[in-house]
C-alpha cells in the first residue's frame, strides 16, 4: 500500500517558509502548490517528478477483515 506522509511534508514546508502560521487559508493553498512543484527525482537525477511523490512510500498493511452486513 502506498501511504502519504503528510506530517513530514507539512513540517518540511513550515520549516522552509516564514510567517506560514499567520494565515491558515493561504498556508493551505501555498502548501498544495508546494507539493505540486516539479523537483529532481532523488533516484534518477535526469528525471523530474512532483514533490508530492517524495513523501509517498510503500507500507505493508495486513488485509482487514470485511464486515458482513448480514451478521453485523
Q: How confident is the model at residue 18 (pLDDT cuts 50, 70, 90)?
A: low
- Cell numbers for 62: 495486513
Mean predicted confidence (pLDDT) in 44-49? 89
Q: How confident is the model at residue 48 (pLDDT cuts 50, 70, 90)?
A: very high
Task: For CA atoms 30, 56, 9, 13, give the dihedral sign.
Answer: negative
Please tell me the pTM assigned to this model: 0.55
- Is residue 71 a part of any domain in this protein? no
Give the CA dihedral 15, 28, 57, 63, nearest 10 degrees. Answer: 140
Counting the structural domains of the chain, the total is 1
Strand partners, 4: 56
Higher-pLDDT residue of 17, 3: 3
Domain that holds residue 30: 2-58
Could you tell me if 60 and 48 are in contact, meaning their C-beta atoms sit under 8 angstroms apart? no
- Is residue 65 a part of any domain in this protein? no
Mean predicted confidence (pLDDT) in 10-38? 76
Gap between the Cα atoms of 50 and 44, Å rounded: 13
- Is residue 63 a part of any domain in this protein? no
- Is residue 47 a part of any domain in this protein? yes
- Is residue 37 a part of any domain in this protein? yes
- Is residue 46 a part of any domain in this protein? yes
Amino acid at each position: 500500500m502506498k501511504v502519504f506522509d503528510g506530517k513530514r511534508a507539512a513540517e518540511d514546508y513550515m520549516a522552509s517558509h516564514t510567517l506560514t502560521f499567520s494565515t491558515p487559508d493561504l498556508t493551505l493553498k501555498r502548501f498544495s502548490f508546494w507539493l505540486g512543484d516539479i523537483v529532481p527525482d532523488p533516484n534518477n537525477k535526469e528525471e523530474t517528478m512532483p514533490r508530492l511523490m517524495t513523501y509517498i512510500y510503500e507500507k505493508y498493511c495486513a488485509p482487514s477483515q470485511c464486515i458482513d452486513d448480514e451478521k453485523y
